[in-house]
Amino acid sequence: MKQQQLIFNERPNGLPNASTFAIKEVKVGSPKQDQLLLKTLYISVDPYMRGRMADGPSYISPFQIGEPLNGGVVGQVITSESNQFQQGDIVTGMLDFQEYHIVNADQVRKVNTFGLRPSVALGPLGMPGLTAYFGMMHIGEPKQGETVVISGAAGAVGQIAGQLAKRAGARVIGIVGSEEKAAYVTETLGYDHAIQYKHGDVHKQLKQACPNGIDVYFENVGGEIGDAVWPLLNAFARIPVCGAISSYNLKEGERDIGVRVQTYLIKARAKMQGFLVGDYTEHFKEAYEELGKAIASGELKYEETIREGFESIPDAFIGLFTGENIGKQLVKVAEQE
Amino acid sequence: MKQQQLIFNERPNGLPNASTFAIKEVKVGSPKQDQLLLKTLYISVDPYMRGRMADGPSYISPFQIGEPLNGGVVGQVITSESNQFQQGDIVTGMLDFQEYHIVNADQVRKVNTFGLRPSVALGPLGMPGLTAYFGMMHIGEPKQGETVVISGAAGAVGQIAGQLAKRAGARVIGIVGSEEKAAYVTETLGYDHAIQYKHGDVHKQLKQACPNGIDVYFENVGGEIGDAVWPLLNAFARIPVCGAISSYNLKEGERDIGVRVQTYLIKARAKMQGFLVGDYTEHFKEAYEELGKAIASGELKYEETIREGFESIPDAFIGLFTGENIGKQLVKVAEQE
């Protein structure tokens, strides 16, 4: 039995394109003792994967040319040779991008979907949702009446981060890249205001939208958008730095040049903290329960942008950097059985 | 009786110069009930004062044209109309820059000099020493065996910050601007290594001096020096941001442009935090005691650069930005009686 596998074909210089990827046909294989055969249902494409396409040390190993890409996958157990899993179980893990998987039982975990579509395990109940949770609740710590600004506000992380700040009683302003996203964050998610960065001077727009300054800035974008925020920071502002997507596609030798932040941090006695969801594993369980209940009850909303078919992974990934997705970008590979 | 007063004459555009200042003759006056007549012994000039020379809101009110400059002063009580002070007492406070002062008793506090020259109240036992203490101990939190880098390492704050890190068992690298300062931080202060930023590529020098990366970067300078540090940050690095002296003399409309820090903070999950000594008042007493004992016993060393005479304040201040001082820059105005 043959399947498709997505190969990392070429290191991109700048924005990834079709030749960054290649599709290979490989054999499926069969599970041994304590192994599972999984069918891929959903594949997650995420901006952080761009970092793995560069060579050099980081918190996560770089992709190797000629080897499969790898990331968040939701699959269904087809054959179980483990007493921990049954046929039909929905599981998730960090797996190679291919249609089927032979995995050891400890490489995946069963998903409690709270009755929702299993894709939630890659979005609001997966890495993006937990990232939003820890960044906002453990670093941002929004308080009643404070002003919270979120860049990439309609994205997989931003959509959850902003609602958590609303729930804490803050005034929430989302920075987004389109009319449709502005409507989504204000009408569906309940943010107080949306700023469209393509509508000109972000600093001016922010100044108008934040007459009392900014207490929390949840950073997903960086670049000129971050620069527009610094002069508006209030005393003891917090800046969880989740991402800086505007700089991920710099070409070789280019540096991310802009406003240096030090004087603004001193003036505001502000704290700016980079973080990764993986640093909070000891709190995963409580966060997962809290998010799961809030999402299942409809208290927290979310959106998914889903492309169909294994071969659409490259386009789905590239679209992350051109702002095509609202909420979590996924690729649906197969129907659940 | 007449005295000299230093007036803020003109907002500087770029580096302050002689016309930034003017000297005025004013009357001394005499103290009323609960007031003191003080003679100025030492005046502190500090880089943060440059911020007060700009117009616009900050954590501290801007200097007003035509009004006296103001800052840290150590004085001696000449006449006391307060039962809290006696003639001869050594006191300190934030006072206008002039030779004598009529102050309310609650505007100054008595100095415990631990038997040292009273100027210590403006240096290692004053704002710079306490700033170093809180930045290093409360934000930097150096641990045994970690690597700590300090910019402006031979300055009033840097000289104390680095020794506190050494005392905590860290390996300490100081970035300095001259051969003489390099010798001071390694030979007198006991830092493990000094880097001279005028000797070329700071990033390369740092990489060589920090084979295990950087765990704490105490930021006094900013600019290209900070930029050279970011790629070397270790996981969970801490960056107390005390100052960014390289950017204080930007001309009107100029912005501090350089490497944006967000991606580095994410990679390292690092925390970068601006702070002001005034945020730690509740811990002043314990810090003062600890520093005082360590300085009096000779465990912590310090250096002062002292200019003589009230009229030398402008030159002393300007010299802060051209790197003339080792340790704390002071102006000695009068002899203690």
Q: What number is the average pLDDT over the span B241-245?
A: 97
Give the three-class secondary structure for B204.
helix
Contact: B257, A262; criterion CB under 8 Å: no
Query: By percentage, how much of chain B surpasses pLDDT 70?
Result: 100
Give the relative orientation of helices A127-134 and A158-167 as an angle to the nearest 10 degrees.
40
Q: What is the DSSP string of B217-257?
A: EEBSS-HHHHHHHGGGEEEEEEEEE---GGGTTPPTT---E
Separation between Cα atoms, residue A105 and residue A75, nearest integer Å: 13
What is the dotted CATH code of the domain comprising B2-122+303-332?
3.90.180.10
**Which residues of A lie closer than 8 Å to B, measured between beta carbons?**
58-59, 219, 222-223, 226-227, 235, 241-244, 247-248, 255-276, 279
* Beta-sheet strand order (sheet of B193-196): A193-196, A171-176, A147-151, A214-218, A233-241, A271-274, B271-274, B233-241, B214-218, B147-151, B171-176, B193-196
**Which residues of B lie closer than 8 Å to A, measured between beta carbons?**
58-59, 219, 222-223, 226-227, 235, 241-244, 247-248, 255-276, 279
Q: Search chain B and give the residue with CA nearest A247.
A: B263
Separation between Cα atoms, residue B240 and residue B164, nearest integer Å: 14
Stretch(es) of chain B classified as CATH 3.40.50.720: 127-279
Residue (of B67, B103, B98, B78) closest to B3 by Cα position: B98
Give the three-class secondary structure for A189.
coil
pLDDT in tens, A125-147: 999 999 999 999 999 999 999 99
Stretch(es) of chain B classified as CATH 3.90.180.10: 2-122+303-332
Q: How far is A35 from chain B (nearest CA, A)?
A: 34
pLDDT in tens, B289-313: 999 999 999 999 999 999 999 999 9
Residue with tokens 């190969």: A7
Q: How far is A219 from chain B (nearest CA, A)?
A: 8
Separation between Cα atoms, residue A234 and residue A239, nearest integer Å: 11
Tokens at B161, concatenated? 């910050």
Q: How many other CB atoms are found less than 10 A from the CB of residue A229?
A: 24
Q: How many other CB atoms are found less than 10 A from the CB of residue A36?
A: 26
The ipTM, to two decimals, is: 0.95
Contacts of A275 in chain B (CB under 8 A): 266, 269
Using the predicted structure, report yes or no on whether residue B56 has a pLDDT greater than 90: no
Separation between Cα atoms, residue B116 and residue B131, nearest integer Å: 20
Q: How far is CA A36 from the centre of its chain?
A: 27
Contact: A274, B258; criterion CB under 8 Å: no
Helix (H) or strand (E) holding B304: strand B304-308
Separation between Cα atoms, residue A137 and residue A277, nearest integer Å: 12
Bridge partner residues of B274 (DSSP): B241
Separation between Cα atoms, residue A227 and residue A261, nearest integer Å: 8
Contacts of B260 in chain A (CB under 8 A): 222-223, 226-227, 244, 247, 256-261
Q: Which of A207, A238, A260 to mutate to test the interface with B (most CBs of B within 10 A)?
A: A260
- CB-nearest partner of B244 from A58, A257, A266: A266
Separation between Cα atoms, residue B164 and residue B171, nearest integer Å: 11
Separation between Cα atoms, residue A250 and residue A51, nearest integer Å: 11
**Which are the contacts of B242, defined by CB distance < 8 A and separation ≥ 6?**
A266, B131, B132, B135, B157, B161, B218, B219, B220, B275
Separation between Cα atoms, residue B91 and residue B23, nearest integer Å: 24
Separation between Cα atoms, residue B211 and residue A13, nearest integer Å: 29
pLDDT for A59 equals 77
Contact: B258, A262; criterion CB under 8 Å: no
Tokens at B105, concatenated? 């008793």
CA A258, A262, A267, A272 torsion-angle sign? positive
Q: Which of A207, A227, A266 to mutate to test the interface with B (most CBs of B within 10 A)?
A: A266
Stretch(es) of chain A classified as CATH 3.90.180.10: 2-123+303-332
Q: What number is the average pLDDT over the span B262-288?
A: 96
Cα Rg of chain B (Å, integer): 20
Q: Which of B141, B233, B248, B263 to mutate to test the interface with A (most CBs of A within 10 A)?
A: B263
Strands B271-274 and A271-274: antiparallel
Is-contact A31 A270, C-beta < 8 A?
no
Buried b (16+ CB within 10 A) or exposed e, B36-74: bbbbbbbbbbbbbbbbbbeeeeeeeeebeeeebbbbbbb
pLDDT for B253 equals 87
**Per-residue tens of pLDDT for chain A, all 337 residues:** 899 999 999 999 999 999 999 999 999 999 999 999 999 999 999 999 999 999 877 778 899 999 999 999 999 999 999 999 999 999 999 999 999 999 999 999 999 989 999 999 999 999 999 999 999 999 999 999 999 999 999 999 999 999 999 999 999 999 999 999 999 999 999 999 999 999 999 999 999 999 999 999 999 999 999 999 999 999 999 999 999 999 999 998 899 999 999 999 999 999 999 999 999 999 999 999 999 999 999 999 999 999 999 999 999 999 999 999 999 999 999 999 8
pLDDT in tens, B200-224: 999 999 999 999 999 999 999 999 9
Is-contact B80 B86, C-beta < 8 A?
yes
Separation between Cα atoms, residue B184 and residue B179, nearest integer Å: 9
Alpha-carbon distances of A97 from A101, A239, A305, A313, B248, rounded to whole Å: 9, 33, 18, 9, 51
pLDDT for B228 equals 98
pLDDT for A242 equals 98
Name the class of domain B127-279: alpha beta
Is-contact B328 B319, C-beta < 8 A?
no
**Which are the contacts of A54, defined by CB distance < 8 A and separation ≥ 6?**
A11, A62
Bridge partner residues of B166 (DSSP): none
pLDDT for B59 equals 77
Cα Rg of chain A (Å, integer): 20
Architecture in CATH for domain A2-123+303-332: Alpha-Beta Complex (3.90)
Q: What number is the average pLDDT over the span B222-246?
A: 98
Confidence band of B30 (pLDDT split at 50, 70, 90)? very high
